[in-house]
């Protein structure tokens, strides 16, 4: 149980640190836009296979901390992260995880997060949102997050068996 918490905490703080170094201005996104906390949800799910309710609680609490520390929108990311937790649960339920499918999971979760954000922005008309802007945000957030996901996946694979209950081939 300690390994996924450490992964979440490190990812949470890396999100904040990296977002200070890479530009996040409309029209000037870096190719390395961090969404590291979301990627860590994909990697830590196998630790919670028999305790799904704890995993969903972890997603929600991480979202609350994300709201308090980074976005200042109470319950916004908490609900989005909980929805992403359900998406990850469904992905793991129907697809056997391996190196390639983990990459696919990360892409699908990032696309899901950005689409949910776009839908909420469109519903409440917060800022003008277009399909091209959505594609731009998705394309500029994949590179760094896929690299981080694979590094984290390799680290988890190299952990001794007593630290993990994970079945990733």
pLDDT digits (tens, 9 = 90+) for 118-162: 998 888 887 788 888 888 888 888 888 899 999 999 988 888 776
pLDDT value for 31: 63
Q: Where are the alpha helices (DSSP H) in 67-98?
A: 76-94
Number of C-beta neighbours around residue 33 at 10 A: 21
Q: Are 38 and 113 in contact (CB under 8 A)?
A: yes
pLDDT digits (tens, 9 = 90+) for 75-117: 999 999 999 999 999 999 998 888 899 999 999 999 999 999 8
pLDDT value for 129: 81
- Would you kindly state where each structural domain of the chain is located, as residue ranges? 2-163
* pTM of the predicted protein model: 0.86
DSSP state of 68: I
DSSP structure string for 35-54: -HHHHHHHHHGGGGTT-HHH
């Amino acid at each position: 149980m300690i390994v996924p918490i450490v992964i979440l905490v490190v990812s949470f703080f890396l999100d904040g640190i990296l977002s200070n170094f890479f530009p996040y201005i409309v029209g000037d996104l870096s190719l390395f836009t961090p969404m590291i906390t979301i990627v860590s949800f994909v990697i830590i799910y196998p630790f919670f296979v028999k305790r799904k309710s704890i995993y969903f609680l972890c997603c929600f609490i991480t979202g609350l901390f994300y709201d308090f520390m980074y976005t200042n929108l109470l319950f916004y990311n908490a609900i989005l992260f909980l929805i992403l937790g359900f998406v990850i649960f469904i992905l793991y339920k129907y697809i056997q995880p391996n190196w390639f499918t983990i990459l696919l999971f990360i892409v699908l979760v990032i696309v899901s997060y950005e689409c949910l954000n776009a839908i909420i922005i469109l519903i409440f008309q917060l800022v003008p949102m277009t399909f091209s802007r959505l594609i731009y945000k998705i394309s500029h957030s994949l590179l760094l997050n896929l690299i981080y996901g694979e590094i984290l996946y390799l680290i988890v694979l190299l952990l001794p068996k007593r630290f993990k209950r994970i079945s990733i081939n």
